[in-house]
Amino acid sequence: MTIKYNSLKSLAFDNSFIRELPADPQSANYRRQVFGACYSIVKPTPVLYPKLIAYSKEAAALLDLSEDACNDDEFVQVFSGNRLLFGMEPYAACYGGHQFGNWAGQLGDGRAINLGEVINSRSERWTLQLKGAGATPYSRNADGLAVLRSSVREFLCSEAMFHLGVPTTRALSLISTGEMVERDMFYDGNPKDEHGAIVCRLAQSFTRFGNFEIFTARNDIKTLKKLLDYTIHIDFPHLIGHQNIKEELTWQSYLKWFEEVCIRTADLLVEWMRVGFVHGVMNTDNMSALGLTIDYGPYGWLDNYDPNWTPNTTDRAGRRYRFGNQPAVAHWNLAQLANAIFPLIGDVEPLKDALNLYSARFKDRWQTMMRAKLGLKSFDSTTDTILINQLFTLFGIAETDMTLFFRKIASYDFTSDWFKSMSQISEKMALLKPFIESYYEPSQLTEEYLFKIVDWFSSYTKRLEKDSRTYKDRQDSMNLVNPKYILRNYLSQLAIDKAEAGDFSMINRLLDMVRSPYSEQPENEEFAVKRPDWARNRAGCSMLSCSS
């Protein structure tokens, strides 16, 4: 018989992380270095006036929770951190990480508190985590709290990425605390009070590369082995065929695990590039061992295509985490993970081979992805690489909205004969008419550019004709990979502006919009447009900080 849960009291907890792994022996909650432990027991800090702003019914369904349960006051009290359910055992995880290419030592869950692991009616394990629920031993000099603006962005983007088909942590709820939090948004000495908020996040696991790095950096190989054994048994049981936590694993098991992490990471990066997502802070402590998008901080979405763009103000000088550099950074981060597990393998060559597996996988999946975005049946390396590179070069010559352009090209229906008689500038402009809304600066559509873009369309048309694919078949397939709606930065900022004034309606409207990013939504057509001029340089739209 299938079990169907409805209320919070029905949640079944099985907190394997704290049951199987070593704990911090110190129970007091004060900032410190924690040694020989994977986590510290800590409780959320109660808040005065919690209020539910929004929840994801799809994320709630992962826990078998009804919508009635989500609208109950108990839901607000639990996921604001004011009340613990039977079976919840809150803790903060210990991990380290490389930040902007440099080892940063111990980091840990400084403003995240895990409530426990729920086993749903489908035997899936989901960890519940509050972000912004108070200080932990890993908060360093911070308060462990989060503000409304960053919480709105995390809540909406988590769900937007899921519906886009990008591997991600999920967001269950967004709750305001009724309290003010002081933040210096741009670290310029001008702090101000902002509204506080808490997001409840869900993931099969929140384990990061940094969870392993910290123990190797401290030469604590015993705890490293315990953590990796646990991770394989619980999160990767298919690699060993069962979940017997007592069995001793071999270096071959660890290598198989690392190979899969490399593959999952490559697949994740391809999806980021497909939809124009820029994570903004790809430190190793923000890289998921499960290949999920994790920690939505100063992220951004490409409006005009620019491989050098980064939304993170902290990264403006070096642009380490710029859009075009994300695949290379992921490879570098995987190399740090390889260094971390090296003591358990003892041979560098198979680890190098696994890293090469990442590169090969990314290249193969990237070609497949670009083929799909352009509506091609297969990838022809002799012609398609040139075709794609030429298109991205043209995007840089005339500021082009990548999302709009790829969505509109699905409706492109010309034949190569049409180009043979084209001679006048007016005819070239007619070709671009359906795409005009994709360009930010019409003055950049010079005669030279028109000749280049027409040449590209001519080559593209000939390439399509080689496939002998019907227009309808091509259009339908392209519209499944080229979204019409993405969570553009300025849309989130508009929702934040309203929310800070007490109006949460746009948050829920955007949540509805991101549920169907590939569908026509006549009621949301106003959101399927390029970034307005006022948002080009506005904080929150074009630039963000790590401040929460």
pLDDT at residue 2 greater than cutoff 50: no
Q: What is the domain partition of the chain in residue ranges? A: 8-212, 218-373, 384-468
Q: What is the DSSP letter of 290?
A: T
pLDDT at residue 547 greater than cutoff 60: no
pLDDT at residue 164 greater than cutoff 60: yes
d(CA 297, CA 285): 13
Q: Over 459-495, what HEC string results? A: HHHHHHHHHCCCHHHHHHHHCCCCCCCCCCHHHHHHH
β-pairing, 170-183 with 51-55? antiparallel
Q: How far is CA 534 from the centre of its chain?
A: 26
Is 285 among the residues known to form the active site?
A: yes
Task: Give the confidence band of 501 by pLDDT, cuts at 50, 70, 90.
Answer: very high
172: which 2 tokens?
A: 């269950």
The runs of H, that is alpha helices, within 410-470 are 416-420, 425-432, 447-467
Residue given tokens 């409840």 in the structure block: 200
Q: Which of 366, 359, 301 is nearest to 334 (CA)?
A: 359
170 beta partners? 202
Residues 6 or more apart whose CB falls under 8 angstroms from that of 359 comprise 266, 331
Task: Give the confidence band of 539 by pLDDT, cuts at 50, 70, 90.
Answer: confident
Average pLDDT, the chain: 94
Tell me how far apart the terminal alpha carbons of the chain are, to the nearest angstrom. Answer: 45
DSSP notation for 194-252: EEEEEEEEEES---BHHHHHHHHHTT-HHHHHHHHHHHHHHH-GGGTTS--TTSPP-HH
d(CA 95, CA 294): 15
Q: What is the pLDDT of residues 102-161, one digit of tens each?
A: 999 999 999 999 999 999 999 999 999 999 999 999 999 889 999 999 999 999 999 999
Task: Give the confidence band of 432 by pLDDT, cuts at 50, 70, 90.
Answer: confident
Q: What is the pLDDT of residues 466-497, one digit of tens each?
A: 998 999 999 999 999 999 999 999 999 999 99
Q: For residue 245, what pLDDT is reported?
A: 58
The amino acid occupying position 163 is H
DSSP notation for 314-367: GGTTT-TT-GGGHHHHHHHHHHHHHHHHHHHH--HHHHHHHHHHHHHHHHHHHH
Q: Which of 20, 33, 514 is nearest to 229 (CA)?
A: 20
Lowest-confidence pick of 33-42, 62-71, 424-433: 424-433
Q: Which of 21, 63, 18 is nearest to 42 (CA)?
A: 18
415-430: average pLDDT: 75
Q: For residue 430, what pLDDT is reported?
A: 82
Q: What is the pLDDT of residues 10-20, one digit of tens each?
A: 999 999 999 99
Catalytic residue among 285, 295, 315, 401: 285
Q: How far is CA 394 from the centre of its chain?
A: 28
pLDDT at residue 1 greater than cutoff 50: no
- Cβ atoms of 233 and 243 within 8 Å: the answer is yes
Total count of residues recorded for the chain:
548
Q: Which of 402, 461, 451, 397 is nearest to 422 (CA)?
A: 451
d(CA 448, CA 394): 11
Task: Give the confidence band of 5 by pLDDT, cuts at 50, 70, 90.
Answer: low
Q: What is the DSSP letter of 10?
A: G
pLDDT at residue 431 greater than cutoff 90: no
Phi and psi torsions of 154, nearest 5°: -65, -45
Distances in Å between the Cα of 24 and the Cα atoms of 38, 45, 75, 231, 474 are 7, 19, 29, 19, 57
Lowest-confidence pick of 76-80, 339-343, 433-437: 433-437
306 beta partners? none
Q: What is the pLDDT of residues 173-195, one digit of tens each?
A: 999 999 999 987 766 777 899 99
Q: Which of 209, 223, 261, 21 is nearest to 104 (CA)?
A: 209
- Cβ atoms of 487 and 511 within 8 Å: the answer is no
Q: What is the pLDDT of residues 203-229, one digit of tens each?
A: 999 999 999 999 999 999 999 999 999
379-395: average pLDDT: 95
d(CA 458, CA 413): 12
Q: For residue 142, what pLDDT is reported?
A: 87
Q: For residue 65, what pLDDT is reported?
A: 97
pLDDT at residue 36 greater than cutoff 70: yes
| Helix or strand holding residue 97 (H, E) | strand 96-99
Phi and psi torsions of 52, nearest 5°: -70, 125
